[in-house]
Every structure is written in structure tokens, then in C-alpha cells.
Chain A
């Protein structure tokens, strides 16, 4: 090899990874499908987004599989729900990822909960006697379009920070998403309007943001305490309360057993169990963030129509 060709070879060798980086899409890894979907909305063709927890899986209990470690090791941006939702499986993923870019506090790490509206922040002394309480508030906050918008904004800002060259693209993608979401929200509000104030029961405390947004009132839970499986005494109490208040609807996440909710519905008389999608991918129709609400709102409105006759 002559000196000249050696130099050329070295230059190519040095340049190759740089040009590959310049062209490569940003790798976004997210803990849930909802975050990945919002990252796709904002990132468009400039990102590849993957999620670890499936929409039909309980996001509290996810196995930190080594295949996830591979994905985190390649990530440029890592988005988490936060509020201790992933506390049981996230720390080992991060610490074995060998990726300094996305460690907590690094540039590529985004806690989506920092900029959103959080409900049920406990006040006063909290103990495990209250069940598996989240001390920094209810982590199921993504189930409200306003929060979805705020998460998308945070993703836009984070992607622009990591890839400033594409900031204008991300801003435009966000604006487009914002417009589509606003139009959809009008539709959902109209669909849900007749049922404002209707009371219902949910299995876990997954729906406070969603129900508040559409003016529905959660009067009880199938779980006696967060994360604690149904008990006979609580179930009896719940049945009595539902009868007394004329509550007929029980909303269940797809990863819970339907036996107890079904038994409650039968006891109440005319009761109905409805499996809603708590996340993108929680039902096959819920293909992205907007479709998730489209699916849930239509299903819920259909059930409420049957029950209330409105």
C-alpha cells in the first residue's frame, strides 16, 4: 500500500462512522407504546421508536429482558413514564445498558412526567399498608389528550436538543399532530358529552386522567387497594355501593382477570364489564395515540348509551 492510498484509506476509515451517524435516524427507546407512538408522531422519518411494555401488558410488571438491554444500548433517546411506574424493571435495564447517553440525568434521558398534569399525589404520611401507592402521584397520566400534547412537546424539545439540525422538522411534525389531536378532541368531547357525570367503577386506578377529562366519575375500584387483588369483603361492599348508587359499568384493563368484575356485574343486575385499551396496542384498533382514544371513547360511549339510554 502506497503512502497516498494509505492516507486515503485512513481518511475513509475516519469519515465512515461520521457520515453514517449524520444520516442515521435517531434511535428512540421508550418504556411504553404510548411514548413510542408520540415519538413517532413528532420524529416522523427521522426516528425509529421502539417500546418495551406492550399495550396489553401490565406496565408495572415487565421483565427487563436482555433483548431490551440490547435496544437500550443502541438508543440515542430514552423516554420513560416516570412516577415510579417502571421502578420494578427500569433500573437494571439502564445500569446494564452501557450507554452513557441515556442514563438518568444525561442528555438523551427524558422523564415524560415532568411537564404534565399529575393527579392523586398523596399528601401526608404514606405507607405500604395503603397498597402499592405511587408517592409522586398517579403514573397513568398519558390517558388524557392534554397530557399527550404536553408529552409530545417534551419529546419535540428533547429530539431537537439531541438532533438540532432537525429541529424545524420536529416542530412542524408536532404542529401537525397538535392540529389533528385538537380536531379529534372536539369529536371525542361531542361523543362523550351526553354522559357527563355518569358514575362507573374501574379495576385499577389507571383512569383518573381519562375519566376526569370526559367528565365521568369513578366511584370505586375492583382492587381494594392499588396493586392488591380483589378480596371478598371489598367485592361485597363494592356491589352494595354500586347498587345503592345505580352504577352499572366496570372498566377493566386487558391484563386483568375478568372473573371478579363479571361476578360483580352479574350481582349488580344489568351491569356491564368493558375492557378498554389503557395503552397504544392494548387493542388491535388502538394503533397510535389518537386511535387509542378513538377506540376507547367509541367503546365507552357505546356502553354508556346502552346503560343510560341517552
Chain B
């Protein structure tokens, strides 16, 4: 045993003595190389400095010698003095948007809580690599957390294809693509709830491909999307792997003048609905087809862009839904106008009318008026008076109010 210890100790000692030798030789060689590189860099740096000084002198000469001494420090790097630690530089842009919603008045059919932290949305956005960027939007509701959207966008695929992969809000019309905090109201139009899957709308895991169609000065974009087939509570539900849902969208945009533009869209969607599911078995195999058209007219005089603008918008949606007892063909629409009349003030109105997807004889109607105040571009306070005439219950008169606030990275607005 003792011999073992001695042998081990001897081997370790030998290893310690022997090992550094080649390493030392290598280090010396490396040091020499480093020294050479440093000398080379010094020389290059000196040359460049000299060249810069000559240029500077030339510039000062060109300014008639009157140039103030300020030009001595012309170059400042990005990030300098900005308090950016290197370790954080690759962190995604992060922001959190809070959406606090209150309600007063009477609604016996679809009551909101009196006060609610309706939704908090956390966003994380960054480039993945030179070919793609990723966007995550997590929504924290009172019941739990959900991935509202989380997708990868390939920015430079050949053929002018803009491709997204992940979970996303489908390109069905306008309102379906919008997050709650960019809506000009505290709620979503009735037609979205009745025909397009409720608050979350068509929001599913899938693949989206969009292509620009050459049409001279007209912006024409065709989008095709394939989803797993689960959206909303009663819109799409896949019972088999092949029950995919599809969305197609065509968008045409034209600048009528520098301050006025017109945005038109046509949308289509198809998928399996849950109407035929009995005890978890899809007996009916029913499908729903949606058609939609949207029109948006915007006016924003550029010289007064921060004080005045108007957006008029309408969407009409047709639903053709298979269910026991025959297909239901329903229609609904909303029309709205929003006007900014001062730097911090917006007012708007909306009219709603929609049949229900599962019973076209039931017609809900509503009208709203909103007033919004923006303390800054990072927060807003909104009040909305809403009257809803439900097909199957007493009319509701409500006052809704909302606080929206955003912290973190400055978000960009999609047009």
C-alpha cells in the first residue's frame, strides 16, 4: 500500500515537472508572436492616426482656420456613455404593457368584472442571426400565462417571400392581427366575438408566407397561412392531425395623397369546428368557412401629424358554419371612426351589428363612444360608453375605463 502512495506521488511529481516544459516553450513562442502582432497593430494605429490628423488639419484648413477646437473629438462610438454593459447587449428588446380595465353599469349577458388587471403583455424581440428575427408576446391574464404570439420571421428569403413560423395572430382582416393595447377601444367589436373566435381570434401555431405582387405604385400583398386548427372557443378545433385551418389574405394599399391613404383587404379562412364533437369524438366532422372584407381610410396631415389624424375603418365578415341541424350562414360588421383632435386627445365612435355563428337568427347590436387621453406616448387613459342590444337578453349600458401603460423598450407600431 505504501509503495502505491510513493509511486503515485512520484508520478504526480514527474507529471508536474515534465508538463510545463513543452508548455513553457509554446508560451514563449506565443509571446513572441503576440509581441509581433502588437508591434504591427501599433504601427497600423500610428499610421492611421497620422492619416486622421492630416485629414483633420485639411478640414480645419478648409474651414479657413476658423474651426473651433470642438472638432478635436469628432468620433464617438455607439453605446458610449449609454450605460450598456456588454453582457446585456444581446438581450432581446423587452417591454411590458399593462392593461387595467374597469366596468360600471349593468350587463346581464356578458358582464366584465368591476376592476381587472385584464392583461399584461410582455414582449421580447431580437434578431436571431443575419437571416431571421424572433418576436415573443406573452400575455399574463388573471387566470394564467399564455403565448399570445411567438414566431420566427425570415427577413431575406429569395423570391420576396416573407415567412413566419410559430404561433401568431392570423392575417384575417385588421382587428384579428391587433394586440389589445393597439386597439382604439377597450373591447373588441361584437362581430369578432360572434364570428371570429372571441378575444383571441384566430391565433394558432402555423406557418405564414406573404408575397408582394408587383402592381406599379400599388402595394399588393398576398398572404397564405396554415395553422394546426385550434382557434377560439368555438371557431376551429382539430380532432385529427389533418384538421388544419387555413387563412388567405389579400391586401391592397394606395397613397391617395401624402396625408390620405386607403387600405383594402379581403380574407378567407377555413377549418374544422367543434360543433360535431360529442364526448370527445368528432361525429359531425363539421367545418366553418369565413369570408371577410376590410377597409381603412387614414388621414394624417404631415405638418400636424402629432396633433391631428383620422382613421375610419370597417370590416364585414360572413360565416358559414356546419353543425347538427344544417349549416348556419351568419353575417356581421362594425364601422368605426377615430379622430385625434389635440396632441393628447382622441375621440371615436363605433357601431356593431352581428348575427351569431351557431344561430343566425340571433342578432346582437351595439354602439360605443370613446375618449382617450395620452399623458405621453407610453401611457393612455380611455373611457368608453357602450350600449349593447343582445338578441337573448336585456340591453346593457356600460361605462368602461382603461389604463394602458408601457415600460421597457420603445415598441414600434405596425401600420
Contacts and interface: CB of A to CB of B under 8 A. Distances in A.
Nearest to A102: B156
B74 interface: yes
B383 to A, nearest CB: 21
Contacts of B161: 98
Interface string B274-308: 00000000000000000000000010101111110
A121 B212 contact: no
Contacts of B258: 54
Contacts of A65: 253, 255, 261, 415
Contacts of A44: none
Given A96-B162, A146-B71, A255-B303, A63 B376 contact: no
Interface string A98-118: 111101111000010111111
B62 A95 contact: no
Interface of A: 54, 56-58, 61-67, 69-70, 73, 82-84, 87-92, 94-101, 103-106, 111, 113-118, 121-126, 128, 131-132, 135-137, 146, 149-150, 178-179, 182, 185-186, 189, 212, 215, 227-229, 254-257
A106 B156 CA distance: 11
Contacts of A63: 298, 300, 415
A121 B306 contact: no
Contacts of A54: 258, 302
Contacts of A212: 70
Nearest to A83: B78
Interface SS of chain B? loop
A94 B156 CA distance: 10
A65 to B, nearest CB: 6
25 contacts: A64-B412, A67-B253, A69-B212, A70-B212, A73-B160, A84-B410, A92-B413, A94-B155, A101-B156, A103-B155, A104-B127, A111-B78, A117-B70, A121-B76, A123-B81, A136-B78, A137-B81, A179-B62, A182-B63, A185-B63, A186-B64, A189-B64, A212-B70, A255-B304, A255-B306
B59 interface: yes
Contacts of B75: 115-117
Interface SS of chain A? loop
B83 interface: yes
Q: Report, nearest first, the 4 A-B pairs whose CB atoms are least far apart.
A: A100-B156, A66-B219, A66-B253, A121-B81
Nearest to A84: B410
Nearest to B302: A57
Given A84-B410, A90-B412, A186-B63, 10 more contacts: A57-B305, A65-B255, A87-B412, A113-B78, A115-B75, A116-B75, A117-B70, A122-B81, A227-B376, A255-B306
Contacts of B162: 96, 98
A266 B327 CA distance: 71
B377 A227 contact: yes
A273 B344 CA distance: 23
B79 interface: yes
Interface residues of B, number: 64
Given A56-B303, A103-B155, A136-B79, A257 B64 contact: no
B144 interface: no
A92 B64 contact: no
A122 to B, nearest CB: 7
B305 A58 contact: yes
Interface in B243-292: 251, 253-255, 258, 261, 263
A114 B305 contact: no
B378 interface: yes
B314 interface: no
Contact of A67 (B251, B255, B414): B255
B153 A95 contact: yes
Nearest to A96: B162
Interface string B195-229: 00000000000000000100001010100000000
Contacts of B78: 82-83, 111, 113-114, 136
Contacts of B68: 215
Contact of A103 (B66, B156, B410): B156
B83 A125 contact: yes
A67 B217 contact: yes
Contacts of B261: 65, 67
B410 A87 contact: yes
A122 B83 CA distance: 9
A256 B255 CA distance: 24
B156 A99 contact: yes
B224 to A, nearest CB: 15
A126 B412 contact: no
A213 to B, nearest CB: 8
A123 B160 CA distance: 43
A122 B82 contact: yes
B80 interface: yes
Given A67-B253, A92-B415, A255-B304, A73 B59 contact: no
B74 A117 contact: yes
A254 B411 CA distance: 26
Contacts of A87: 410, 412
Contacts of B305: 57-58, 61-62, 255
Contacts of A126: 83
Contacts of B303: 56-57, 254-255
B80 A100 contact: no
Contacts of A128: 376, 378, 407
B73 interface: yes
Contacts of A57: 302-303, 305
B82 A121 contact: yes
